[in-house]
Amino acid sequence: MFHLINWIKQNKIGAIIVGVFTFATMILIISLAQQNQLTTRPDQVPLRTGPGLNYKQITKLKAGTKLTVVAKNNGWWQVKRDNNQKVGWVASWVANNTKLKTATQLSEATIVLDPGHGGSDTGAISTDGKHYEKTYTLKTALATEKVLTDAGARVIMVRTKDVVVPLLYIPRKAEKYNADAQISFHFDSSESNNSASGVSQYYYNDNSQSLAQALNGSLNNLPLENRGYETMPYLVIKDVTRPAVLLENGFINSDHDFSYIRQSSYQQKIARDVKSGLVAYLNNLYPNNNGQ
């Protein structure tokens, strides 16, 4: 001990450096250890056999369950419980959600929202030539984003500003995040002003039909006539393997329809109805909330 004290006195700078290095190393070790720890915030967080809604549910975790993170895959975390070597997967955005009280299928879902057009691509135009489709697709998509986020879902926006997004880029978002649904927002336009009215839903691939049906049912509540759903080879819903639907939420060159389209209350109504449609779609796809 005497020799150590003597060395420290003679090598103050070296001792300080060693002390600082040791302290920093300890902080780093603690920090890395904490990064691998997770405590569930909401109640009933599903633990699944794989990273996705389509995987079988093992159990539901109570709020405050302590977990160790083993691996990560596109927002899904493989975890194991304390004193339990059995592993499973949780949606990290659900497990970490401080506002959500109870997890649901919708909260586990990843939804891509595509506000049609943007930037120099104005889309359709109102009868007075002053209002562009791109403006109202974005407003409606942002309203929907808030409704779905408040419900705990992971929402991926194709755009949040008035910018051009290449059409080929849009399906890549859904593929990248392995989305449970991709929804594109548009407003229709007829060949001549005030010659058509109503909302429509379009899909292309077979795995998207049930999504189109569910949204068709929920959008029956809008003040505009629901013209129904059908297949259409639109690029954004054709070149994607994930379930994808394009919504035409009224004719912007119809003064009658546009009187609704421009209202934030109408945009909010669409947002709530889309949420209802997604809930119905997921409940139908996984009726027992147990995946496959």
- Is 271 within the bounds of a domain? yes
pLDDT at 289: 72
Q: What residues pair up with 199 in beta bridges, in sequence order?
A: 226
**CA 19 and chain centroid, separation:** 46
- Is 290 within the bounds of a domain? no
Boundary-marking domain end, from 69, 101, 133: 101
Residues 6+ apart with CB under 8 A from 141: 113, 114, 115, 157, 185
- Is 161 within the bounds of a domain? yes
Residue keyed to tokens 């912007």: 252
Residues 25 and 52 in one domain: no
- Is 291 within the bounds of a domain? no
Distance (Å, rounded) from C-alpha 68 to C-alpha 253? 56
Chain segment 44-75, per-residue pLDDT in tens:
999 999 999 999 999 999 999 999 999 999 99
Q: What residues pair up with 149 in beta bridges, in sequence order?
A: none
Instruction: Provide the domain limits for residue 155.
Output: 106-285
Residues 163 and 275 in one domain: yes
pTM score of the predicted model: 0.88
Residues 163 and 265 in one domain: yes
Residues 6 and 119 in one domain: no
Residues 137 and 270 in one domain: yes
- Is 277 within the bounds of a domain? yes
Mean pLDDT for the stretch of residues 174-185: 98
Task: Say if residues 63 and 40 touch (Cβ distance below 8 Å).
Answer: yes
Q: Where are the alpha helices (DSSP H) in the chain?
A: 2-10, 12-35, 92-95, 105-108, 133-150, 169-176, 209-218, 235-238, 255-261, 264-285
Residue 10 has pLDDT above 70, yes or no: no
Q: How many CB atoms lie within 10 A of CB 242?
A: 22
Please tell me which residue, 221 or 142, carries the higher pLDDT value: 142
Residues 96 and 182 in one domain: no
- Is 6 within the bounds of a domain? yes
Distance (Å, rounded) from C-alpha 97 to C-alpha 214? 27
Boundary-marking domain end, from 51, 86, 101: 101
Residues 92 and 169 in one domain: no
The packing angle between helices 264-285 and 209-218, to 10°, is: 130
**CA 210 and chain centroid, separation:** 19
Residues 279 and 134 in one domain: yes
Boundary-marking domain end, from 65, 84, 101: 101
User: Which amino acid is located at 139 in the chain?
Assistant: K
Residue 22 has pLDDT above 50, yes or no: no
pLDDT at 288: 78
Total structural domains in the chain? 3
- Per-residue tokens: 204: 């292309």
CATH of the domain at 165: 3.40.630.40
Chain segment 158-177, per-residue pLDDT in tens:
999 999 999 999 999 999 99
Distance (Å, rounded) from C-alpha 35 to C-alpha 43? 21
